Structure 1
Amino acid sequence: MKFKPLAFIINIAITLGVGALGGWATAQSVKIWYPTLNKPSFNPPNWLFAPVWTSLYILIGIAAYLVWIRRDKIVHFPRTVAIYLIQLILNLAWSFIFFYLHEIGFAMAEIILLLIIIVINASMFYKINKWAGLLFIPYILWVSFASFLTYNIFILN
């Protein structure tokens, strides 16, 4: 397949845009509310989250591009896009639920649903393009860790 630079940039811009919206929802709470919470000893330092999420959003965007360039060969392309968009919406929703609404319990339930949809999305992408599916592995690992972290913050607070 021939490289399509505009499609590549758009796919990455979409995921980085989701990240930017999540960052907006998070910004004030990270300074004011989040420091007041009891957190487990394995809680990463705040500076780590932005580079990790930026890297993950870029990987997700690349994976989406790898699927997009094969869209003509995908029997269930609308379903694939729907799962991908649901995953992005749930990703964004978690930031609003946890950081903007301060609903830790609801965020815990939502992140479990997010993780399930991410795994489904990765599996669908893998069937279309092996690399697209494999690019989701760091995302799955990070959201698994974030789920465990959210659970512990919920228990401690």
Structure 2
Amino acid sequence: MKVRDFFGVVFSVLISEGIGFLSSLFAGDLKASYATFTKPVLAPPDWLFGIAWAILYLFMGIAAYLVYRSNVPKVRKKIALVWYAIQLFINFIWSIIFFRADSMWIAFAVIIILDILVLITMIRFRQINKNAFLLMVPYFIWILFATYLNVAFAILN
């Protein structure tokens, strides 16, 4: 691996992880909030979320870098990365809406939008780099699971 590629991957991952960190920071005390909720069937323990999200943001950052470094016309990469940035922003605001604003139903609408945006991003990534697409699959599965949890929490709480 070239030094430029190494630092590029690290930078891309740091952006992704940083967005996740800032989102959790602005969302407030996630563990305390989560502990107060009536939990649906399949709700994981609170400690699992931090681990899962750290891995998912890692994969997302690598996927974005693979698209950025691909040998396709710049306009195709730019479009794919704009979709990526949009979904990352929606991901960022979801936990703030869900936890800080305590608006589970609004968060549900936001996560449905996120589901769609991630799917579009995956399709764009697939057209450029198959590995970038594959790195996004666990994230998509996780947010579909998060969609279930969101609506279940909204109903139960």
TM-score (norm 2): 0.92
Alignment of 1:1-157 (within 5 A): 4-31=5-32, 33-70=33-70, 73-157=73-157
Give the C-alpha shift of residue 81 in structure 1: 2.0
Deviation >6 Å, runs of 4+: none
Give the C-alpha shift of residue 71 in structure 1: 6.1
1:65-120 per-position Cα deviation (integer Å, ceiling 9, x unaligned): 10011265344333222111101000001011001111000000000100110010
Unaligned segments of structure 1, at least 5 residues: none
- Is 2:72–2:128's contact at 8 Å kept on the other side of the alignment? no
Give the C-alpha shift of residue 150 in structure 1: 0.5
Unaligned segments of structure 2, at least 5 residues: none
AA partner of residue 9 (structure 1): V
1:104-143 per-position Cα deviation (integer Å, ceiling 9, x unaligned): 0000000010011001001100110000001111001000
In structure 2, do the counterparts of structure 1 residues 93 and 71 end up closer, same or farther at CA, with 3 Å as the change threshold?
A: farther
Q: Residues of 1 paired with 2:75 and 2:102: CA distance?
A: 41
SS at match of 1:76: helix
Q: Residues of 2 paired with 1:65 and 1:82: CA distance?
A: 13
Q: Residues of 2 paired with 1:156 and 1:55: CA distance?
A: 29
- Is 1:25–1:99's contact at 8 Å kept on the other side of the alignment? no
SS at match of 1:38: coil
SS at match of 2:127: helix
SS at match of 2:43: coil
SS at match of 1:42: coil
Q: Residues of 2 paired with 1:118 and 1:87: CA distance?
A: 6
Q: Residues of 2 paired with 1:70 and 1:29: CA distance?
A: 37
Number of equivalenced pairs: 156
SS at match of 2:40: coil
RMSD: 1.7
Q: Residues of 2 paired with 1:29 and 1:15: CA distance?
A: 19
Q: Residues of 2 paired with 1:29 and 1:121: CA distance?
A: 27
